[in-house]
Amino acid sequence: MLLPQLRSAVLDANLELVRRGLVLYTFGNASGIDRERGLVAIKPSGVPYDELRPEHMVITDLSGKIVEGTLRPSSDLPTHLVLYRAFPNVGGIAHTHSEHATAWAQARKAIPCLGTTHADYFHGPVPVTEPMTDAEIASAYEANTGEVIVRAVTPERAMAVPAVLVANHGPFAWGPDPAAAAHNAVILEAVARMAWITFGINSTAQQVQKALHDKHYLRKHGANAYYGQK
Amino acid sequence: MLLPQLRSAVLDANLELVRRGLVLYTFGNASGIDRERGLVAIKPSGVPYDELRPEHMVITDLSGKIVEGTLRPSSDLPTHLVLYRAFPNVGGIAHTHSEHATAWAQARKAIPCLGTTHADYFHGPVPVTEPMTDAEIASAYEANTGEVIVRAVTPERAMAVPAVLVANHGPFAWGPDPAAAAHNAVILEAVARMAWITFGINSTAQQVQKALHDKHYLRKHGANAYYGQK
Amino acid sequence: MLLPQLRSAVLDANLELVRRGLVLYTFGNASGIDRERGLVAIKPSGVPYDELRPEHMVITDLSGKIVEGTLRPSSDLPTHLVLYRAFPNVGGIAHTHSEHATAWAQARKAIPCLGTTHADYFHGPVPVTEPMTDAEIASAYEANTGEVIVRAVTPERAMAVPAVLVANHGPFAWGPDPAAAAHNAVILEAVARMAWITFGINSTAQQVQKALHDKHYLRKHGANAYYGQK
Amino acid sequence: MLLPQLRSAVLDANLELVRRGLVLYTFGNASGIDRERGLVAIKPSGVPYDELRPEHMVITDLSGKIVEGTLRPSSDLPTHLVLYRAFPNVGGIAHTHSEHATAWAQARKAIPCLGTTHADYFHGPVPVTEPMTDAEIASAYEANTGEVIVRAVTPERAMAVPAVLVANHGPFAWGPDPAAAAHNAVILEAVARMAWITFGINSTAQQVQKALHDKHYLRKHGANAYYGQK
């Protein structure tokens, strides 16, 4: 069996989404990539989470050709592939319909950075994509979902803002590996929920000042990070 | 004992409503129909869920006459029967007071389709019924509840929009079998919750464009569906 | 030990409040009365719920004199006693700081009847008391809390509307016995939560029409009730 | 090993924050102080809660010098130290990103006292700090976080209002010992949630009158307290 470690990591990322309450029934999917071999492992489509085993993960190449696996891959696979091709440092991707992030996506509003919880993970607002054109929806819909994400995030910003809201759909999050992708999806949901409540308390709440935003992001990321035990 | 499989399916659908948090105490009820025999199985009224067994389900004909069972059927049975008679492809019905769908019913607002989670299941807004007249309430109230549902949904739309909000009351959902009815009730509650949050974020949020709505619905339904393992 | 059955019923009512998530730490209290003997059993003050045993319940007479028990009764005992004296058919009382009912109390708004869940239990709005005067607060505060409740509800309405919101404080609920009091407290919290969401969806949501309100209340209460197995 | 009892108390306070749902992943930290020896015990940075043992707590002096421990202390240690130096009766401190208190902090709004739940614990509004200047953020950020807290609360008010919202960041709570600090953090979150809902119901909700505020606070605190079994 190809890529047993990646299969396990992808399965674990999918299950983390369930454990954290981001998933209803079979919604949502996580994947991971082996950059050396150019192979992606992704959850199969529509299989109940409690039956998922590493061997159920579907292995494809970056064009979507199935290399190993008898189940259909998640129908969102083409979106994942566009992101892996456009964002070279991404090692894992998670897609959910988690309810607060999805509500922001349905509202077609970027989530502004209102506090340090957001700033610890996302260096700037979490953007929302443009709506897709009818033509983009009619043909290669899932791949075009990836394209509107790439336009909203840009490859330069992909590691500093590892999530996006697809307009009228829901969030995608990513990171250096599948566990980080799932972790960022969980944080995004918490940030989305707190932003909703914040505006409920103060409809003119302001983004954090740049100095505070940078401080928190750089406490956790980059050469001068000093959070945790590393 | 008549219809042991249908009894089990109806019991499972009732318990799924409980597992998913849609039910408080003994509120809510699910039923199923055997179309060949014209017999309906429904939860008895006011029995605690943890005591329910398949043999407690009450079997009636389509006029409401009890064919087998010593307990009273759910007091909403006449509503179910009207729907089974009006919607010939419906095989199961679930009624709850799940809190977000009920809030939309109390607000007397249809739930517009704001995103793909909704579009995956409901092809158009989830409608709200007209208020019932005092006369409809005074006599044959539960059957008349069915009648206002049929007027709001219409038989032509019943399978494409398998749920409704009864004004100032709560949701009914249905599907080809009792499990699908419960499943749609669970999705409806999630969609109702996300729609509430979406309008809290953006009071002028818009419905999804028709192309996206159709795309998602048809990914999962109809001859060209490509979601899941079928 | 006096009144072992009442002690158990009062303990169960207190634990039901915990099981249903209405209680944080030691907030909240439930009591019951033996009308023949004129004796009340109530939770002791500030004891963790998981240590509570029937023998910890404090027995007092209707003037508040401790008849049996070594622990201090709940500090809200004088409120309970006023209600038992004013409402002769009440057999149990539950007080919580459950968050949505408390929010309505803090908002100093009665909860209007917006739907059938409310109508099934409360025949009219759940009223909010007038604020207490400084003099009422300064002396015999807990007894005066009972007095403002009696003025808001009136003895004539006490069994038809078995709950009240004490302004800037929280809800009291009651019923023919301690279990019914706890049950009504749980329903009140659900109704309060749904009413909040309803107004979030439609700020001009209207009360249910009288015919529907009466129909649902009378389906469950009174000589012509036809809900449940009785 | 130094201070085994304080280590256990600090660990318990950290775990209480987790049990009550105030903590996501490794966010949040609690500490305690031995005033006689001038030593502080605090959670290490970024260690998963389910692996925490008393021996992982880091012991420092009031200047932040590590006296015992091989792990890095929480990066918020300098904030805790400023508070221990400024508030001489504080024996424990808890910091979380609990979602409703954090939303108020992000909204830069003090939480007004809307009811008796608040009044039982916080004698006045829970204040929000001024935003920090860019210079305060650039250098000694965590210590300066402590300084803005001290300016917002003042040492005179620290025991009567044992919590604060750091603007665009989140809450700190404290008390005579670590357990009380965690307890106050839990109450603060409940109070913050109820205040949000209250204003959702009534946007012009008013603070409780002074007589009621004093009554409830003094029922539980000070020489004439009469709540609980003491």
pLDDT by residue (tens digit) across D165-177?
Answer: 999 999 999 999 9
Question: At residue A179, does pLDDT exceed 90?
Answer: yes
Pick from D62, C115, C216, D81: nearest CA to B106: C115
Predicted local confidence at residue A224, as pLDDT = 78
- Residues in B touching A25 (Cβ below 8 Å): 183, 186-187
Which of B139-153, C178-192, D214-228 has the weakest average pLDDT?
A: D214-228
Residues C8, B226: Cα–Cα separation, whole Å: 58
CATH number reported for the structural domain that contains residue B67 in this entry: 3.40.225.10
CB contact under 8 A, D115 and C169: yes
Chain D: closest CA distance from residue A204 (Å): 8
ipTM computed for the complex: 0.96
Question: At residue A221, does pLDDT exceed 90?
Answer: no
Structure confidence by residue, pLDDT tens digits, C39-79: 999 999 988 999 999 999 999 999 999 999 999 999 999 99
Predicted local confidence at residue B218, as pLDDT = 87
Question: At residue A227, does pLDDT exceed 70?
Answer: no
Structure confidence by residue, pLDDT tens digits, B166-184: 999 999 999 999 999 999 9
The DSSP call for residue D161 is: S
> What is the residue-averaged pLDDT of chain B?
96
Which of A61-65, C209-213, D176-180, D222-226 has the weakest average pLDDT?
A: D222-226
Q: Which residues of D touch A (CB under 8 A)?
A: 24-27, 44-47, 71-72, 75, 97, 99-100, 102-109, 131-132, 134, 137-138, 141, 168-170, 196, 199-200
CB contact under 8 A, C187 and B100: no
Nearest CA in chain D to C110: D201
Predicted local confidence at residue A230, as pLDDT = 55
> What is the residue-averaged pLDDT of chain C?
96
In a domain, D229, yes or no: no
CB contact under 8 A, D45 and A227: yes
Predicted local confidence at residue D225, as pLDDT = 78
Q: Where do we find the tokens 């979380």?
A: D96
Nearest CA in chain A to B210: A134
Q: Shortest CB distance from A102 goes to which of B117, B187, B212?
A: B117
In a domain, A56, yes or no: yes
Task: Find the domain containing D168 and state its range.
Answer: 4-221
Note whether A207 and D108 are within 8 A (CB): no
Question: At residue B97, does pLDDT exceed 60?
Answer: yes
Predicted local confidence at residue D206, as pLDDT = 96
Chain A: closest CA distance from residue D14 (Å): 16
Question: At residue C209, does pLDDT exceed 80?
Answer: yes
Q: Which residues of D touch C (CB under 8 A)?
A: 114-117, 183, 186-187, 190, 193-195, 197-202, 205-206, 208-209, 211-212, 215, 219, 226-229
- Residues in A touching B194 (Cβ below 8 Å): 99, 102-103, 106
Q: pLDDT tier at B221 (50, 70, 90 boundaries)?
A: confident
In a domain, D227, yes or no: no
Residues D41, D53: Cα–Cα separation, whole Å: 13
Note whether B24 and C186 are within 8 A (CB): yes
In a domain, A228, yes or no: no
Element (H, E) at B170: strand B170-175
CB contact under 8 A, B193 and A168: no
Residues D206, C156: Cα–Cα separation, whole Å: 31
In a domain, D228, yes or no: no
- The number of helices, as runs of H, and strands, as runs of E, in chain C is 8, 7
Of chain D, the percentage scoring pLDDT greater than 90 comes to 92
In a domain, C227, yes or no: no
Residue-level length of chain C: 230
Of chain B, the percentage scoring pLDDT greater than 70 comes to 98
Predicted local confidence at residue C106, as pLDDT = 98
- Residues in C touching B128 (Cβ below 8 Å): none
Helical axes B178-201 vs A99-107, angle rounded to 10°: 60
Residues A73, B226: Cα–Cα separation, whole Å: 11
Residues D33, D137: Cα–Cα separation, whole Å: 26
CB contact under 8 A, C215 and B44: no
Q: pLDDT tier at B227 (50, 70, 90 boundaries)?
A: low
What is the three-state SS of chain C? CCCHHHHHHHHHHHHHHHHCCCCCCCCCEEEEEECCCCEEEECECCCCHHHCCHHHCEEEECCCCEEECCCCECCCHHHHHHHHHHCCCCCEEEECCCHHHHHHHHHCCCECCCCHHHHCCCCCCECECCCCCHHHHHCCHHHHHHHHHHHHHCHHHCCCCCEEEECCCEEEEEECCHHHHHHHHHHHHHHHHHHHHHHHHCCCCCCCCHHHHHHHHHHHCCCCCCCCCC
The count of structural domains within chain C is 1
CB contact under 8 A, A168 and B219: no
Chain D: closest CA distance from residue A194 (Å): 6
**Mean pLDDT confidence for B73-101:** 98
CA A128, A133, A137, A140 torsion: positive or negative?
negative
Give me the catalytic one of D12, D34, D49, D120: D120
Question: At residue C223, does pLDDT exceed 80?
Answer: no
Instruction: State which amino acid sits at residue B83.
Output: L
Q: pLDDT tier at B226 (50, 70, 90 boundaries)?
A: confident
Predicted local confidence at residue C221, as pLDDT = 87
Predicted local confidence at residue A222, as pLDDT = 80
**Mean pLDDT confidence for A222-228:** 75
Interface residue of C194, C213, C216 to substitute, partner B, most B CBs within 10 Å: C194
Strand partners, D111: D126
**Mean pLDDT confidence for D56-79:** 97
Question: At residue C35, does pLDDT exceed 90?
Answer: yes
Q: Which residues of C touch D (CB under 8 A)?
A: 24-27, 44-47, 71-72, 75, 97, 99-100, 102-109, 131-132, 134, 137-138, 141, 168-170, 196, 199-200
In a domain, B33, yes or no: yes
Q: pLDDT tier at A46 (50, 70, 90 boundaries)?
A: confident
CB contact under 8 A, A27 and B117: yes
Q: Where do we find the tokens 């569906």?
A: B225
Question: At residue D230, does pLDDT exceed 60?
Answer: no
- Residues in B touching A138 (Cβ below 8 Å): 211, 215
Pick from D189, D121, D186, D209: nearest CA to D160: D121
Q: pLDDT tier at B230 (50, 70, 90 boundaries)?
A: low
Which of B20-34, B53-67, B129-143, D216-230 has the weakest average pLDDT?
A: D216-230
In a domain, A143, yes or no: yes
The contacts of residue B182 (CB under 8 Å, 6+ apart) are B12, B13, B14, B16, B17, B20, B30, B92, B94, B173
Question: At residue D222, does pLDDT exceed 60?
Answer: yes
Question: At residue B84, does pLDDT exceed 90?
Answer: yes
Chain C: closest CA distance from residue D124 (Å): 14
